[in-house]
Amino acid sequence: MTPDATLTANALKAWRFLYRRGYIEGFGHLSVRLGADRFLLTRHSLGLKAGAGDFLLVDMEGKKLAGRGDLPGEYPIHVEILRSRPDVGSVIHYHGMHSTAFTTSEQTLKPIHLVGTLFHDGVPVYPDPRLVSSRQRGEALAKALGPHRAVLLRAHGAAITGSSVEEAVGGAFLFEENARRACISAGLGKPVWIDEQTAADAGGELLKSRGPFRRVWAMVEAENEEQG
């Protein structure tokens, strides 16, 4: 299998994993970098039954080069984050129920569980709830993301990054898990967040070991084998 074919196969596994868990449900998209000037991007309105042809080949100007179907309307999310962050190999945008709730409340999402410490350096909030459907908005979102692993879009969703699709899907899964636990805690009273120093120490250990990302990807692979 060629490197590009392997990337596509893994992107399909990631897509199905997130779709089955309700992260996408018709809204959301996933991209994977192919070198410096191209990337793969899920087409508009893609469902669970997806194939390699449903990933569009796109250049860094947002022009579709190959693939069936239309670009998703918010393709500038991927263009501008990948353009501004050469360390990012994959971007996932989805409308997380629990994480997005923290953009419409007085609470700020922080690490409340061990896996949340992966995002110990903070989760910025992009303030504009409108669709990121232009280069200008994409650039503003990328600026809001900065050097962080994730950014929340107010009253809209989240964008999660990773050096690879394996890391990005693990990041999305663990980001939403931390948010879910935080929502539960907030419902019981005042959330007790992990303090900054402990979160930095714990997150540093997890990022060094890569254990959480490997564990989530093992789940992706196992589910893919079970589902066929």
Q: Over the stretch 135-175, which tens digit does the pLDDT of each residue have?
A: 999 999 999 999 999 999 999 999 999 999 999 999 999 99
Is 121 a residue whose pLDDT tops 70? yes
Q: Say which residues have a Cβ less than 8 Å from residue 63's Cβ, sequence separation at least 6.
A: none
- At 4 the pLDDT is 86
- At 24 the pLDDT is 86
- At 1 the pLDDT is 60
Render pLDDT for 50-96 as a digit per residue (tens, 0 to 9): 989 999 999 999 999 999 999 999 999 999 999 999 999 999 999 99
Render pLDDT for 186-213 as a digit per residue (tens, 0 to 9): 999 999 999 999 999 999 999 999 999 9
8 Å CB contact between 12 and 59: no
What average pLDDT is seen over the chain?
Answer: 96
- At 227 the pLDDT is 85
- At 83 the pLDDT is 97
Is 98 a residue whose pLDDT tops 70? yes
Tell me the C-alpha distance between 109 and 172, whole Å: 14
Render pLDDT for 5-46 as a digit per residue (tens, 0 to 9): 899 999 999 999 999 999 987 789 999 999 889 999 999 999
- At 151 the pLDDT is 98
Is 74 a known active-site residue? Answer: yes
Is 214 a residue whose pLDDT tops 90? yes
Consecutive H or E run containing 150: strand 150-153
Q: Say which residues have a Cβ less than 8 Å from residue 116's Cβ, sequence separation at least 6.
A: 110, 174, 175, 177, 178, 181, 182, 194, 199
Exactly one of 25, 74, 176, 177 is catalytic; name it: 74
Q: For residue 214, how many other CB atoms are within 10 A of its CB?
A: 12
Is 228 a residue whose pLDDT tops 70? no
